[in-house]
């Protein structure tokens, strides 16, 4: 079965009444999110000229952007039983529910300065002064973020308060926002298999709200998303599985029940990605999606908002090493590119070197290096060990810079 992350620029069927059209965006906007999700591990440590996010979630794309046929597609693997099925929900009732949630949503547009690209996603308004819940992969690699509120039509600059890459959750703060309508938050513990739902978002990055109606097909699901080019992977657990056509651009948008309450945050879809059931269940066709239960997402958002940094929760600016890396059979993180003048260049790292440790902690993969960077902040001095193909074992210390988000 194929799977896709919601962030592509294709046109998909709309459900309910769309808002007035927004000014047209770059024709590559949605598809660049594919790039953004194809190399997360690299960006976590300062990738250049590659993707922005490595694990397959709500905004991954299996199809390369126009003119970029060489971009690899992440592999998403769901774990656990996957029940498909059901009929479509009552259109009139769901339309009413959808119209009630739209004013509490935002479109999130990220500029990826190091890639010369843009991505589009969705966000959920948590507070009237502009605290926004979205997927981490929607803003990964961003050097500039602008957010358009669907309730008042205004666009605001945004900063990232913090993120948890392992859970694909990020919290944004809008500058100068007040009086925003918040989304109606429900209780994901009340979700049941078979109930009618709808995923609301910004499919295709057009700026107009879109809706994918369907039903809950399974609870407590786990998916592993891998970037075959960098070797980076992450696993999301406890997800709500749905039979609904979640599309690129819907990432970070709400999954609502028939009463219009937000019970989840859309994060992964199966339109173009290949899913492989690892235990139990049978392969199912396209149109399957996954959402992070809203209770789970809000718990992480609370930690971020409270400044509770942890092994997975990063607060504030992203540290920057200035390399793109791939995995080398458990040996370490293989340097592919080095940013001129960056911390890695100052260390003397070059393409082909293999990073094996950071402050004494073993680095055995691209993912390990990315995760290790989350425990630091810009300005921290870190001692790295690496192997130079010509000179052998090397060691050096350098101050990390400030890089793109996540």
Neighbours of 224 (CB within 10 A): 18
**Which class for 153: exposed (0-12), middle (13-18), buried (19 or more C-beta within 10 A)?**
exposed
The burial class, CB within 10 Å (0-12 / 13-18 / 19+), for 161 is: middle
Say if residue 379 is exposed, middle or buried (CB neighbours under 10 Å; 0-12, 13-18, 19+). exposed
Q: What angle do CA 224, 60, 279 make, to 5 degrees?
A: 25
Residue 401 corresponds to which tokens in the numbers above?
Answer: 């810079």
**387, burial (CB in 10 Å: exposed 0-12, middle 13-18, buried 19+):** middle
Q: How would you classify the pairing of strands 262-269 and 75-79?
A: unpaired
- Tokens, residue 299: 């718990």
Pull the structure tokens for residue 27: 């024709």
Structure-token match 């500039």, residue found = 144
Strands 169-174 and 131-134: antiparallel
Please calculate the CA angle 345-351-355 and round it to the nearest 5 degrees. Answer: 80
Residues with catalytic roles: 137, 168, 251
- On the CB side of 320, CA atoms within 13 Å amount to 22
DSSP state of 55: S
String of DSSP letters for 238-275 = EEEEEES---TT-TTPEEEETTS-EEEEEEEE-SSSPP
């Amino acid at each position: 079965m194929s799977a896709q992350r919601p962030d592509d620029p294709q046109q998909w069927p709309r459900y309910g009444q769309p808002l007035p059209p927004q000014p047209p965006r770059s024709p590559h906007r949605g598809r660049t999110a594919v790039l953004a999700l194809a190399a997360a591990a690299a960006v976590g440590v300062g990738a250049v000229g590659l993707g922005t996010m490595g694990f397959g979630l709500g905004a991954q794309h299996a199809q390369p952007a126009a003119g970029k046929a060489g971009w690899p597609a992440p592999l998403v693997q769901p774990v656990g039983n996957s029940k498909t099925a059901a009929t479509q929900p009552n259109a009139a009732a769901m339309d009413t529910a959808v119209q009630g949630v739209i004013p509490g949503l935002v479109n999130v547009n990220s500029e990826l300065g190091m890639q010369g690209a843009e991505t589009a996603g969705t966000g959920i308004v948590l507070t009237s002064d502009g605290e926004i819940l979205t997927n981490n992969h929607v803003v990964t690699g961003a050097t500039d973020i602008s957010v358009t509120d669907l309730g008042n039509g205004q666009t605001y600059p945004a900063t990232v308060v913090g993120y948890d890459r392992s859970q694909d959750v990020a919290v944004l703060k809008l500058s100068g926002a007040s009086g925003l309508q918040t989304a109606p938050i429900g209780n994901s513990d009340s979700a049941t298999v078979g109930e009618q739902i709808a995923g609301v978002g910004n499919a295709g990055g057009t700026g107009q709200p879109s809706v994918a109606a369907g039903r809950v097909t399974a609870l407590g699901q786990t998916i592993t998303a891998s970037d075959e080019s960098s070797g980076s992977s992450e696993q999301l657990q406890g997800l709500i599985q749905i039979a609904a056509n979640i599309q690129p651009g819907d990432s970070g948008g709400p999954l609502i029940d028939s009463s219009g309450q937000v019970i989840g945050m859309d994060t992964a879809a199966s339109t173009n990605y290949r899913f492989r059931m690892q235990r139990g269940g049978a392969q199912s066709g396209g149109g399957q999606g996954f959402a992070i239960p809203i209770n789970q997402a809000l718990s992480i958002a609370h930690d971020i908002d409270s400044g509770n940094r942890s092994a997975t929760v990063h607060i504030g600016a992203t540290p920057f090493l200035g390399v793109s890396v791939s995995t080398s059979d458990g040996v370490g993180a293989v340097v592919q590119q080095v940013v001129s003048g960056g911390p890695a260049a100052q260390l003397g790292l070059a393409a082909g070197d293999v990073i094996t440790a950071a402050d004494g902690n073993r680095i055995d993969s691209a993912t390990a290096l990315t995760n290790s960077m989350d425990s630091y902040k810009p300005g921290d001095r870190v001692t790295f060990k690496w192997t130079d193909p010509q000179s052998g074992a090397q060691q050096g210390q350098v101050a990390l810079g400030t890089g793109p988000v996540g």
